[in-house]
Amino acid sequence: MKPDQIIEALRLMLLSRALDEFCIKLQRRNRLGVYAPVHGQEAAVVGSAMALDPADDWMIPASREQPAMLRHGLPLENLLATYTGKVDHGRIPSDVKLLLRQQAIAAQLPHAVGLAWALKLRGLAAVALVYFGDGAASEGDFHEAANLAGVQNVPLIFFLINNRWAISTPVSKQTAAEDLSVRAAGYGFEGLRVDGDDLFAVYEATREAVARARAGGGPTLIEACTYRVGFHNTSDNPREYRDEAEVAAAEANDPIERVRRYATAAGIWSGEEEARISLEISTELNATYRKVASLPRPGPNAIFEHVYEEQPTRVRRQRDTLLNQLPEPDDAG
């Protein structure tokens, strides 16, 4: 990675960590819905995103790729609007090549294959990258998607973030294989395993996979081995099922600190620079949240939107009945 890329990546990683802390505090104050922190996985998420060209390539997120989504063009305001329930203001802009998050585990994988197949059919020199976890790798959707991707030789990177825990299920109870990347061979394309806490290793592995896909070489499965330091989401209590010593060991291998040390030794980073950027991030988060908090809440009609292109008669009837019974919501944030 070039010096400017390293600085961009480190800023994104710091933004991610700050966003985690910011959103968790908001959730604890009942100002924000369920939140899944990135903590511990910043190198895997940011390193892979840095290998994509937001102008041409598509990204299909899972549940904890916030810095990747921001790097790909999603405004921070839209991200926070979604988390705070201001759904009318959380939409993905039409010029941002990003799919909506899919909360049904692994359901985004077939969508990603279809998108990549469309890129190929249209003759575009673009690729798609889809994120998923070790838990999603145990779902049938993964196997069906991988099989079709191999058959059609689509320009898709399956980016598997193995953080060792699918909520409370350890990876050891999901597979007897030595690693998950070996599955790629069964579908006729390349698979590799990378240290997911090493920003540079993740970036290089993804860059090579992107170049191969862009040149017609088909899909790649990248397994990034990392650790979910935080909880699965704000409804979870990992102390019920994890050994705290295991968590402490992961914290000692903090991916942000690894990049910080490298950049400092290379003479492109300093404590003063980090203090300046951290202040910028804090200011941006607070200002953006104040703006989002002032936005109007969606009305009851919102639950009927974005489901059908044309609402069936029965749905319109249900909507009209509900709207006639409920008062309009308060516009306060």
Mind listing the pLDDT tens digit for each residue in 75-113? 999 999 999 998 888 899 999 999 998 888 999 999 999
Residue 324 has pLDDT above 90, yes or no: no
| Catalytic-labelled residue, pool 71, 183, 228, 289 | 228
Residue 333 has pLDDT above 50, yes or no: no
The answer to whether residues 166 and 174 touch, using CB atoms and an 8 Å cutoff, is yes
Residue among 58, 8, 48, 37 nearest 192 (CA): 48
Q: What SS3 state is found at 175?
A: coil
- Average pLDDT of 140-169? 97
Count Cβ neighbours within 10 Å for each residue of 3-31 and write b for 16 or more, e otherwise: eeebbebbbbbbbbbbbbebbbebbeeeb
| Catalytic-labelled residue, pool 241, 261, 290, 316 | 241
Q: Which domains occur in the chain, in start order?
A: 3-295 (3.40.50.970), 298-333 (no CATH)
Residues 4, 166: Cα–Cα separation, whole Å? 35
Name, in order, each residue with C-beta under 8 angstroms of 306's C-beta and a sequence gap of 6 or more. none
Mind listing the pLDDT tens digit for each residue in 207-253? 999 999 999 999 999 999 999 999 999 999 999 999 999 999 999 99
| Catalytic-labelled residue, pool 11, 71, 212, 232 | 232
Helix locations, 40-136, DSSP H: 42-49, 66-71, 76-83, 108-121
Query: Would you call 316 a catalytic residue per the annotation?
Result: no
The answer to whether residues 103 and 63 touch, using CB atoms and an 8 Å cutoff, is yes
Q: What does the pLDDT read at residue 136? A: 95
Residues 182, 192: Cα–Cα separation, whole Å? 7
Rounded CA Rg of the chain: 21
Query: Would you call 241 a catalytic residue per the annotation?
Result: yes
The answer to whether residues 256 and 13 touch, using CB atoms and an 8 Å cutoff, is yes
Query: Would you call 72 a catalytic residue per the annotation?
Result: no
Residues 293, 287: Cα–Cα separation, whole Å? 10
Which residue type does 123 have?
G
Phi and psi for 206 in degrees, rounded to 5? -70, -40
The answer to whether residues 129 and 150 touch, using CB atoms and an 8 Å cutoff, is no
The answer to whether residues 304 and 315 touch, using CB atoms and an 8 Å cutoff, is yes
